[in-house]
Amino acid sequence: MTARGWGCLVMGILLAIAANVAGARPLLYLGVLLVLLPLVSMLVAYAPRRRGAVSRQISTDLLTVGESSRVALRFDLYAPGVPRGIWRDTLPDAVRGDAQGEYPGDSALLRYELEGVQRGISTLGPLVLRTVDPFGLAQREQEFGDTRTITVVPLVVALPSLPSKVGAAGGAAQTRSTRLGQGADNLIPRPYASGDSRRRIHWRATAHHGELMVRQEEEEASPDAVVVLDRSAARWDRPADGPDPEFETAVTLCASAALRFVQDGYSVDVIDSAGGLLGALRGHEDDREDLMVAFATVTPRGEARDLRAIVGSTPPGPLVVITGRISVADADRLSTAGAAAPLLFAAGAERGALSAAAAHGWNIAAVTSGDELDQTWADALPQAQVSGV
């Protein structure tokens, strides 16, 4: 019952008691009427059988933090008569928007706007319809339709390019890897296996062998640039009331750096501090979407491995490492792995840690939540470094 319905029920009970005390039969009739009216209203609200179908269309598949998207929702309600009520779409914490309104009896098309506020993969829906009886004494909430998955990815900031192209390939092509287990034999096309990208099919070899063959060397080519996100649990806070703003800034910087290198012509591998591959960018739009989806769910966890073991024996051109709290001892152990342009970004570094890293050849910059990341990036570029930092 609504507040009005409860008030009517309580008033009816009080009038019935007063009627018995005062011996006033008209008050008893009125009290019984006020008691029965909310009960009849409950029956009117809950008796009709209703079913509905809901379909949603979102203007973008990947919603960026701070970006708005329009949702078109078609709600087909099958019920006797047109109910009077309010519709509301259930929103997760990752988005916000005014997803409610008065149910339009003459139209089944509902629209509202969403804004991404927190990266992650969550569900949108179900649709809730709240109806009331004509007297406003009873209400009914009913859920309709299935949920829809919505992915909120980190914001990407436009970063300036490196002052010059670095690396063996000059940012224009992939350099062949000389890591253990690779050699001339790997340049021979091999049979297609489940999970191989069809973009790597070697059509000439396929025609010759009569079965699908793929270019082995394209899968094992090492990237020109490497971006490492140090997400080891010891580096970051784990606030109970929400995400760590410093870590969110680091994820944004990591995504922005990877896409900056792709725009400059580099092939990029994005890995975490344990050596896990978060994404590989080779100039395809699908690669970018896969990387952003991976960034939508990345969280601090695990322990960090030695950077040289992660990068491998082939030094990259640009190497970007984004980390959190590091001590002077951590900085002393942090190798540049022979990279031509090593850049280190740290959030909450111990006093003197960045200076120690700079002494080992790193181009450094401190990262703080709320900073202009394009300026932070520019501060770490080789030409921006100042002696004695």
pLDDT of 3 strictly over 50: yes
Delimit the domains of the chain by residue range: 3-46, 51-153, 176-220, 222-384
Provide the pLDDT for residue 170: 46
Integer Cα distance of 268 and 266 in angstroms: 6
Provide the pLDDT for residue 33: 92
- Arithmetic mean of pLDDT, 40-52: 86
pLDDT of 126 strictly over 50: yes
Does residue 335 or residue 107 have the better pLDDT?
Answer: 335
Provide the pLDDT for residue 319: 93
pLDDT in tens, 235-261: 998 877 778 899 999 999 999 999 999
Provide the pLDDT for residue 216: 63
Write down the CATH number for the domain with range 222-384: 3.40.50.410
Portion of the chain with pLDDT greater than 70, in percent: 86
Q: Please state, rounded to an integer, the average pLDDT across all residues of the chain.
A: 83
pLDDT of 47 strictly over 90: no
Integer Cα distance of 9 and 21 in angstroms: 19
pLDDT in tens, 177-219: 333 333 333 446 778 777 666 656 777 777 667 788 876 654 4
Q: Enter the pTM of the model.
A: 0.75
123: its two tokens: 């569900």
pLDDT of 266 strictly over 70: yes
Category of 307 on φ-ψ map: left (φ > 0), alpha (ψ -120 to 50) or beta: alpha
Integer Cα distance of 64 and 117 in angstroms: 8
Provide the pLDDT for residue 317: 86
Poorest-confidence range of 98-102, 111-115, 221-225?
Answer: 221-225
Provide the pLDDT for residue 323: 95
- Arithmetic mean of pLDDT, 223-231: 89
Provide the pLDDT for residue 169: 44
CA angle 174, 154, 161 (to 5 degrees): 45
Confidence of residue 166 (pLDDT cuts 50, 70, 90): low
Are 174 and 221 spatial neighbours (Cβ–Cβ below 8 Å)?
Answer: yes
Provide the pLDDT for residue 182: 37
3-state secondary structure the chain: CCHHHHHHHHHHHHHHHHHHHHCCHHHHHHHHHHHHHHHHHHHHHHCCCCEEEEEEEECCCEEEECCEEEEEEEEEEECCCCCCEEEEECCCCCEECCCEEECCCCCCEEEEEEEECCCEEEEECCEEEEEECCCCCCEEEEEECCCEEEEEECCCCCCCCCCCCCCCCCCCCCECCCCCCCCHHHHCCEECCCCCCHHHECHHHHHHHCCCEECHHHHHCECCEEEEECCCHHHCCCCCCCCCHHHHHHHHHHHHHHHHHHHCCCCEEEEECCCCEEEEECCCHHHHHHHHHHHHHCCCCCCCCCHHHHHCCCCCCEEEEEECCCCHHHHHHCCCCCCCEEEEEECCCCCCHHHHHHHCCCEEEECCCCCCHHHHHHHHCHHHCCCCC
173: its two tokens: 């092509």
Provide the pLDDT for residue 172: 43
pLDDT of 382 strictly over 90: no
pLDDT in tens, 292-307: 999 999 999 988 888 8
327: its two tokens: 């001590």
CATH class for the region spanning 51-153: mainly beta
pLDDT in tens, 349-366: 899 999 999 999 999 999
pLDDT in tens, 65-104: 989 999 999 988 888 877 778 899 999 989 999 999 888 7
Are 187 and 216 spatial neighbours (Cβ–Cβ below 8 Å)?
Answer: yes
Provide the pLDDT for residue 238: 82
**Do 51-153 and 222-384 come out as alike in CATH topology?**
no
